[in-house]
């Protein structure tokens, strides 16, 4: 809960993987080691820093999608 991680501004770290580390994603990593979508998941606590899903991922994902609908 509460992973309020601020994106470091002005950083130009290029030693990161090119592709999203979430298994089966394969998209280009835009933010940190995630693609835009999975970075959002990480921020929301759906996946950990390694891109792994928790046991209760389904439940979290459901809550996340509900939240997204409300925010839209
Ligand atoms: Zn991804």
State pLDDT tens for residues 12-69: 555 655 899 998 899 999 888 899 999 999 999 999 999 999 999 999 999 999 998 9
Ligand 1 center to 64 CA (angstroms): 16
Ligand 1 center to 33 CA (angstroms): 9
Ligand 1 center to 13 CA (angstroms): 19
Ligand 1 center to 16 CA (angstroms): 14
Q: What is the pLDDT of residue 23?
A: 87
Cα–Cα distance measured from residue 17 to residue 20, given in angstroms and rounded to the nearest whole number = 7
Cα–Cα distance measured from residue 18 to residue 33, given in angstroms and rounded to the nearest whole number = 8
Q: Is the pLDDT of residue 1 over 60?
A: no
What pTM was computed for the model? 0.69
């Amino acid at each position: 809960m509460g992973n309020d991680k601020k994106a470091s501004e002005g950083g130009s770290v290029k030693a990161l993987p090119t592709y999203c580390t979430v298994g089966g994603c394969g998209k280009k990593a835009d933010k940190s080691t995630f693609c835009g979508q999975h970075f959002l998941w990480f921020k929301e606590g759906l996946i950990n820093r390694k891109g792994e899903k928790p046991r209760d991922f389904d439940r979290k994902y459901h809550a996340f999608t509900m939240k997204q609908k409300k925010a839209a």
